[in-house]
Chain A
Amino acid sequence: MPDPTRTGQPGDDWREQVFAAFEQGGVELFCYLPDAGLDSFISRANAGNQDRAVVLTTEEEGVGICCGAWLGGKRAVLMIQSSGVGNCINTFSLVTNCRFPFFLLVSMRGEFGEGNPWQIPMGRTTQAMLELAGFQVFRASHPQDAVVMVTEGLKMAWRSDAPVAVLLSQRLIGAKDM
């Protein structure tokens, strides 16, 4: 769906395919904190069966809920902005210590075309922080990358009991034009 706050919209079909990859990958619960770059996925998660979408007050909660859902046998994913990755760092010890399968979708800020200096420190460090925390990180800069990375990232997370993050780069989702 069109997002007037974003420039360089590459069209919505890849977003549809990414969401389809979540559904085909068996994801039954979507935990999120809103971001313009995630808006389309949030809308889709909330459409129809509202029980599958959980809006969080802070990103850390989502780490707990996703791990808890897996303890109970359900696949959940966490969708957050890059700034929220910094909030999660300590909670990732739950993921790696207990060897939870974990899938994180991150919409990037603070990089390609960013106009807000407050976003830049986390934008610059998000990928390195995730890698230091034990995540396998895939960075998507083109629409088809995003679809393939989500599809394969979900498989990797659940087949290997691994933490996987897919970063949607600002090159892909566009910088906020304000």
Chain B
Amino acid sequence: MSNSEPDVTRESATVLNRTDLTRRLVARLKSEEAVIGGIGFTNFDLWASGQRPQNFYMLGSMGLATSIALGVAVAQPQRKVFALDGDGSALMQLGSFATVAAVAPKNLAVVIWDNGAYHITGAQETLTVKGADLVAIAKGAGLKQAYWAADAGHFETLVQRALINDGPWLIAAKIDKERPAGVTERDPVKIRLNFMNAIAPGS
């Protein structure tokens, strides 16, 4: 696998599908990697991809998926940790990109689904439509390994690189406005305990 990356921008990135990409990502997880699913359709599709016990689903606290994942990554440096979040959520906590860059956890990858919309509330436009480029912002915040996925195959290549090589990583995919494939169950304590048991040291 080459380390040279194609020059992909938000404009040139192929429009992909969140349900499909979430399933492609989850299919590549073989070692009990932790996944934090951000608020909204992001975690609905994570739920629909197979309800792994190593998934944590956020149903509130918009914007914190990356921060929660950073905490898990720092606590368990041997485990790969993914944060999945939408563009609206990411825009709410852009500073967390700088924090991730400063802490520089080798085991963390942030995946952003960018459909330019606050999808779950009625698909109102986000500022990524007006020109805010989350990969450029991430790079500016110090995350050197930040990339747009050119297409689904390239997305999988980037995920595989994040699984094998040191992070932190940020992988952004431009996605459509299809609805998610499921709805997450909503008991927060159950979600926490299932996740903690699944990633407890020694498990």
Contacts and interface: CB of A to CB of B under 8 A. Distances in A.
Contact of A56 (B74, B99, B199): B99
A154 B191 CA distance: 24
Contacts of A73: 75-76, 196, 200-201
Interface of B: 34, 36, 56, 58-76, 79, 93, 95-96, 98-99, 102-103, 188-189, 191-192, 195-196, 199-201
Given A68-B75, A69-B74, 19 more contacts: A29-B75, A51-B74, A58-B95, A60-B67, A63-B67, A64-B64, A64-B65, A64-B66, A64-B68, A64-B71, A68-B68, A71-B68, A72-B71, A73-B200, A74-B75, A91-B61, A94-B64, A97-B188, A98-B189
A159 B196 CA distance: 16
Contact of A72 (B65, B75, B191): B75
Give the top 9 A-B pairs by smallest Cβ distance, nearest first: A68-B71, A72-B75, A64-B67, A57-B95, A64-B64, A74-B75, A68-B68, A69-B71, A97-B188
A72 B67 CA distance: 13
A64 B62 CA distance: 10
B188 A98 contact: yes
Contact of A65 (B59, B74, B200): B74
Contact of B64 (A51, A61, A74, A99): A61
Secondary structure at the B interface, as helix, strand, loop or mixed, is helix
Contact of B67 (A51, A65, A70, A90): A65
Q: Give the residue among A66, A72, A94 with the most B Cβ atoms within 10 A.
A: A72
26 contacts: A29-B71, A29-B74, A56-B95, A56-B99, A58-B95, A61-B93, A62-B67, A64-B61, A64-B66, A65-B71, A66-B71, A68-B69, A69-B71, A69-B74, A69-B75, A71-B68, A71-B71, A71-B72, A72-B79, A73-B76, A73-B196, A74-B71, A74-B75, A90-B62, A93-B60, A94-B64
Contacts of A74: 71, 74-75
Secondary structure at the A interface, as helix, strand, loop or mixed, is helix
A54 interface: yes
Contacts, number: 118
A41 interface: no
B99 A54 contact: yes
A65 B192 contact: no
B61 A68 contact: no
A57 B67 contact: no
B72 A68 contact: yes
Contacts of B66: 64
A76 interface: yes
B184 to A, nearest CB: 13
Contact of B71 (A51, A70, A91): A70
Given A64-B67, A70-B71, A94 B95 contact: no
A60 B191 contact: no
A34 to B, nearest CB: 14
Nearest to B65: A64
B64 A60 contact: yes
Nearest to A63: B64
A57 B99 contact: yes
Interface string A142-158: 00000000000000000
Nearest to B56: A71
Contacts of B79: 72
Contacts of A93: 60-61
Contacts of A76: 71
Contacts of B36: 68
A161 to B, nearest CB: 9
